[in-house]
Chains A and B, each alone.
Chain A
């Protein structure tokens, strides 16, 4: 039996640098991978679906505002943007995260695209980072499209004075991006946890569309404490640069019942979103590093 033996064989002498010398570093490879992954997204049906959602939302808002002309909303550009940008952006970010990110890692296993990538001389962190970046960019393209619709409406109602205070809108956009980063970390965590894309998409969609809302109501009504640790709750800060910061704890009497209404502070919002981003991204990467292509 030539070339094999019963006991362990000592390891061979390591090879000289050779081909490794020209392989790009991890960051370089992640950028290359994200470029091709983004190209795949932008040509895919899911991107068309996302665009359709953005266009539908923009069209509904445009028609509703044109028909009802709500005086509060049309009182100033910031009130206008605060009313239609903040909530809409958070909604679209959730959809973008799910549509682009839900199968980002799970799909590598389920669709077997991972067999093509992982045979290449790259680390798993490269694949994770490359795909993260591609999902982020595809989502930003979608959000920017929505911003264009919002700005077009602003110009229609306020003329060029719609751009009189761009700093506030930019600050709100930056917070929306932070929310996107945090949400994607969360989506990638579940995408790494499951080898089936559908499970990852369903879990994230159910949690954000239903689960967190129920949880938030239950926590507030039963414990009378602020649900500061819920990502959906702190996403409320996206509108603050435009609408102003509401009272942190407000007591509102409605239909004879005194209710406590919590609103996140800037510090809570930014801190919790950063926390979600770092913890879930690291958690997702930890899972992906250990997942096998069986």
Chain B
């Protein structure tokens, strides 16, 4: 049986505020799904109902077909999760905290020992395994929490913005860890508002806004079906570049949808078409006397879709 999570009419209201509105979402199979949405969209609320931290006003959530609300122990037995930034009892060491977690999951002592060493090394906390957690920074605690989520080698991994509280290096490391988690028979469901993280790690995305699911599809389909077909690139010059020179340089190129200036040395160009067309634009800009020093894509296709879908919601 392949791992799955399933929300059936999942709804959460806090008094008159509807945080999640009849979410119906079924994710099945070994894959990594990015759960996207702006702040307040209902991402964490959804994940908390999948882990029984809060209770649905209506509907139900399932992990591997088991209702979290009716049998949380059974449902969560196949799941490793990291919701918000949990705290560990401060006098315990990471090794002890993971021992407790493993023992509560029913792992054998030798299995706990070997997995603890493996996952703490994986999150780069091996050297701190014997130190009290109370002395750790937020980022270090988050690494230990991630290790605890992975300890039992779970079939379903639910992560709520796992790189929260980490420095840029830590974020990159977490991204690499999550990528490494993708394996046969494991479903990773990860909320994030860092789009580059989702593009880098996930196979599919679900976009939530104001408690409603806007779409759930593969990254490729999202870009093809929902994207405008255009992409945005940024070009930077060594010295100020004249408008007239730019206009002359880019005129007649059908792949250029439009351009705008960010500063006297920087411009943003919206392009469509294939990479061959993009190469021509680079050649034209490089021939300008101001000296082209960089040319890079500023937004991913997912970012374009995200911004468009969320702004549609705002309207």
Contacts and interface: CB of A to CB of B under 8 A. Distances in A.
Interface stretch (B23-31, B168-176, B250-258): B23-31
Contact of B1 (A15, A22, A292): A15
Contacts of B9: 8
Contact of A120 (B101, B206, B216): B101
A13 interface: yes
B33 to A, nearest CB: 9
B86 A40 contact: no
Contact of B216 (A4, A111, A121): A4
Given A118-B51, A120-B104, A39 B96 contact: yes
Interface residues of A, number: 47
A293 interface: yes
Interface string B1-25: 1001010110000100000000011
Given A1-B216, A8-B8, A40 B104 contact: no
Contacts of A122: 73, 104
A293 B77 contact: no
Given A1-B216, A4-B213, A36-B89, A22 B106 contact: yes
Interface string A107-130: 000011111101111110000000
B78 A116 contact: no
Contact of A293 (B53, B82, B213): B53
B66 interface: yes
B197 interface: no
Given A116-B86, A116-B145, A120-B101, A39 B54 contact: no
B106 A24 contact: yes
Contact of B54 (A14, A113, A292): A292
B90 A40 contact: yes
* Most chain B CB neighbours (cut-off 10 Å) among A18, A19, A118: A19
A113 B91 contact: no
A14 B65 contact: yes
Given A2-B217, A292-B55, A112 B148 contact: no
B91 A44 contact: yes
Nearest to A289: B55
A19 B66 CA distance: 12
Given A1-B215, A36-B96, A14 B25 contact: no
Interface of A: 1-16, 18-20, 22-24, 29, 32-33, 36-37, 39-41, 43-44, 111-116, 118-123, 292-294
10 contacts: A4-B206, A8-B8, A11-B62, A12-B64, A19-B77, A19-B152, A44-B91, A115-B84, A119-B83, A120-B76
Interface of B: 1, 4, 6, 8-9, 14, 24-28, 48, 51-55, 60, 62, 64-67, 72-92, 96-97, 99-101, 103-107, 132, 145, 148-149, 152, 154-155, 206, 213, 215-218, 221
